[in-house]
Structure 1
Amino acid sequence: MSFPWAQEYKPANAFTQWVDERLPLPRLVYNAVGAGYPVPRNLNYFWNFGILAGLCLGLQIVTGIILAMHYAANAGVAFDSVEHIMRDVNWGWMLRYAHANGASAFFVVIYIHIFRGFFYGSYKAPREMVWLLGVTIFLLMMATAFMGYVLPWGQMSFWGAKVITGLFGAIPLVGEPIQQWLLGGFAPDNAALNRFFSLHYLLPFVIAGVVILHIWALHIPGSSNPTGVEVKTESDTVPFYPYFVAKDGWAVGAFAFLYCLVLFFFPNALGHPDNYIPANPMSTPAHIVPEWYFWPFYAILRAFTADFFFIPAKLMGVLAMFSAILVWFFMPWLDRSPVRSGAYRPLYRKAFWILVVDALVLGYCGGAPAAEPYVMISQIASIYYFAHFLIIVPIISAIERPDPLPYSITEAVLGKDENVPLSASPTAPFPGTQHPNAHGHA
């Protein structure tokens, strides 16, 4: 984000100047996360989840590299190699638990980050590319997490791989060849385990590359903010360093406390006990479930129980499961409201909280057995999920009367400047809307 009042980088000493002239890395860091990057002064703690997501990615890459030094991607010894890590490698148990629980922490952070974007309209112009790259990161995360879940080669790993890769078999004509190509055979075995391990090791670095593009795209228009009002003057911003570095530091400390609490006291709370049983193709678990962060989409998959004319139920479930994420790509064009923030959109705000409840219901049903009443609840929740994005949001954006917006970010924080006339406000969304008072809608 470039503003005329942004500070120019001036090297502090001769050595830094010499480096910056030949490799402008100091200048890049200064403009990306230093005093040369102005950010809106009213960012709340929901904006800290971006840095937490980067922290989780770094944690997963570091622990994953060390674990790969001791893991054997062979169906005959994979389970034993994980036990070797847990029992014989110095601090291996902590590395393994840190990696497994780090995946859960990563998804918690990302889900909050995404739903913050839904509420505050972070997908709206001019930040569409930031949003599209963010959804791409989420898809890559899901692929990486699925392949990682297979690697311990326990019962849930094996049967999860069999069920999920079997979904591709529902695609007409090309489904079974694709499934066999993914597995390297007709069932999960050595070939599949080697492929999944290779891709699980590679994809985090692909994610890191897309994260760089995501941050690059963010720095062009600058960060959004809780009001949705764009930056107008220097008083609307503060330098990223030291103000938001300190705020991010507090969030990192709080995250580290909660993460270590789970890591050292409840390391298996989010896992499935059947994955401590070696994979057995001849023994099907009574209840096959993926990791908890897949449950909402798994519930959508299982919501289709009957064929629709010539379309098999399995195929409809697969299409719905992938569409549940792909629909996010179209949010910048489905929501046509001129107001970004849900804080000033009363109808949209109600629909958003219903969506949150709906997603939690889908998550609960996805982890429950495939029986009634969970299947029926999944069907109702799935209908509302797609209706929210494809019907409710477009209708609300067309008929909603938003609340008045503050004239500027500074006004939202400090109150209205009496020297600014009411006629100067360009943000009243409809004729006759009154400008907010000093304590109104900030």
Structure 2
Amino acid sequence: MDHTSSYEPQTKFGKWWDDRLPVARLAHGQFVAFPTPRNLNYWWTFGGILTFFLASQIVTGIVLAMHYQPSGAEAFNSVEAIRRDVNFGWLIRNLHAVGASMFFIAVYIHIFRGLYYGSYKAPREVLWILGVLIFLAMMATAFMGYALPWGQMSFWGVTVITNLFSSVNEIIPGLGTAIVEWLWGGFAVSGTTLNRFFALHYLLPFVIAGLVILHIWALHVAGQNNPTGLDIKTREDAVPMYPYAVAKDAVGLFAFLILFAWFVFFLPDYLGHADNYIEADPLVTPPHIVPEWYFLPFYAILRAIPSKLGGVIAMFAAIAILVVVPWLDTSRVRSAKYRPVYKWFFWLLVISCLALGYLGAMPAEGAYVTWSRIFTFYYFAHFLLVMPIVGLIERPRPLPRSISESVLKSGAGAPEGAAAAPETR
């Protein structure tokens, strides 16, 4: 499909400006007239939802940074002062804290949608990899942000997680210790560590914003995937992004904002840990140290491996493996909607990730560790065994001839008895 903008300035000033800096033409071509598959469902609204929450987190974060004191002596009290003494500080703090959780809920749904519908397949490999990099940057930003309230769980969470890097000593003696001391800014977690984390927490959202721009650029070069996995072939297969896709995104965002507002106004502290409302004390260790809920699946993987170094490698590998998913999946069909065997394995992956999230919050003992190892095994087996093998032996269901055919239901697929004609371009 031709993505050339049909924008025509209507005023003399508009024409003068368009000849010199065609921003309006670019915006019209990429966000108004851009051809969007006509069969997109509401799972595709989470890209817009994530963009909204990124902007929200940056704006509320900048306001909070104006009142926050990044020092070991003042951090905890400054957070309480924001909630009690700053005009609407309670609201801004709640928007930012709850917004982080909503951001991760949306990104996990976005990732699983991509895995289900094969949005990582050619020609969208770079688009997918940029998405994984955004996810990594989000996790780094959230981890550093978790330290800022300087409560008990913040302090000890930072202590435990940063200490994991000392396992590098098993590979290169002394390197792990050097990394840990660099992160700490000394020989123990202190106000210096907090100040470093605050600086990086402030910087990384702008890095994420840059990656998001590249992500959107890559999306508009390759075009959007859709539930059938077919490419846009004719004008009947697509509709302009505005008003059709924009209106659907607005409805999805509004529905998600209802959930967001419910937590902000009624349960702002529900997704946090009670111990984090106790000021950090290096002399008192909490009985059970856990990270924020969105880190729990990876925390369970970390603890499932008996070796400290092995656990660290497995934890990072759980994210890194997503980068090579486009080359691990051997199926010629994108969408799991037409893959009757793989679909069951996909839902098993979803169950495994939810189970790991639960197990990450439990003590590292007994049956919890056993089940963590079972679900960790399946997590990696899904990508390293299921995707390559099922893609080779599975017989997909017949695909529709076009996107418009799937929408109009004028023959759900190929003629009876005909083999599927998978399309991957």
TM-score range (shorter-chain normalised) is: over 0.9
The one-letter amino acid of 1:428's match is A
Deviations 1:189-234 (A, max 9, x none): 1211111000000000000000000000010111000000111100
Cα distance between partner residues in 2 of 1:233 and 1:200: 46
How many pairs align? 418
Q: Equivalences for 1:98-109 in 2 at 5 Å? A: 98-109=95-106
Partner of 2:237: 236
Cα distance between partner residues in 2 of 1:294 and 1:81: 26
Partner of 2:253: 252
Q: Point out the more displaced range, 16-25 or 401-410.
A: 16-25
1:44/1:226 contact within 8 Å kept = yes
2:3/2:34 contact within 8 Å kept = no
1:235/1:410 contact within 8 Å kept = yes
1:270/1:292 contact within 8 Å kept = yes
> Given the superposition, is the C-alpha separation of residues 421 and 196 from structure 1 closer, same or farther in structure 2, using an over 3 Å criterion?
closer
Partner of 2:296: 295
CA drift at 1:386: 0.6
Deviations 1:259-288 (A, max 9, x none): 101100011110001011000000000010
Q: Equivalences for 1:110-259 in 2 at 5 Å? A: 110-172=107-169, 173=173, 174-259=175-260
Does 2:40 align with 1:13?
A: no
Q: Relative contact order (alpha carbons < 8 A, sep ≥ 6): 1 or 2 greater? A: 2
TM-score, normalisation: structure 2: 0.96
1:228/1:340 contact within 8 Å kept = yes
Query: Which SS does the other structure have where 1:171 is aligned?
Result: helix
Cα distance between partner residues in 1 of 2:157 and 2:144: 10
1:407/1:427 contact within 8 Å kept = no
Aligned-residue Cα RMSD (Å) equals: 1.8
1:130/1:217 contact within 8 Å kept = yes
The one-letter amino acid of 2:421's match is A
CA drift at 1:7: 5.3
Q: Equivalences for 1:49-128 in 2 at 5 Å? A: 49-128=46-125
Q: Point out the more displaced range, 366-375 or 43-52.
A: 366-375
Cα distance between partner residues in 2 of 1:91 and 1:6: 46
Cα distance between partner residues in 1 of 2:326 and 2:305: 28
Does 2:39 align with 1:42?
A: yes
2:401/2:414 contact within 8 Å kept = no
Deviations 1:233-262 (A, max 9, x none): 000000000111111111111111111011
Q: Equivalences for 1:426-441 in 2 at 5 Å? A: 428-429=421-422
CA drift at 1:182: 1.1
Cα distance between partner residues in 1 of 2:129 and 2:251: 29
1:336/1:394 contact within 8 Å kept = yes
TM-score, normalisation: structure 1: 0.92
The one-letter amino acid of 1:227's match is T
Instruction: Quote the sequence identity (%).
Output: 58
CA drift at 1:13: 2.5
Query: Which SS does the other structure have where 1:131 is aligned?
Result: helix
The one-letter amino acid of 1:205's match is F
Partner of 1:337: 331
Deviations 1:384-433 (A, max 9, x none): 11111111111001111000000000000002379x9969x996249xxx
1:6/1:38 contact within 8 Å kept = no
> Given the superposition, is the C-alpha separation of residues 224 and 323 from structure 1 closer, same or farther in structure 2, using an over 3 Å criterion?
same
1:38/1:237 contact within 8 Å kept = yes
Partner of 1:438: none
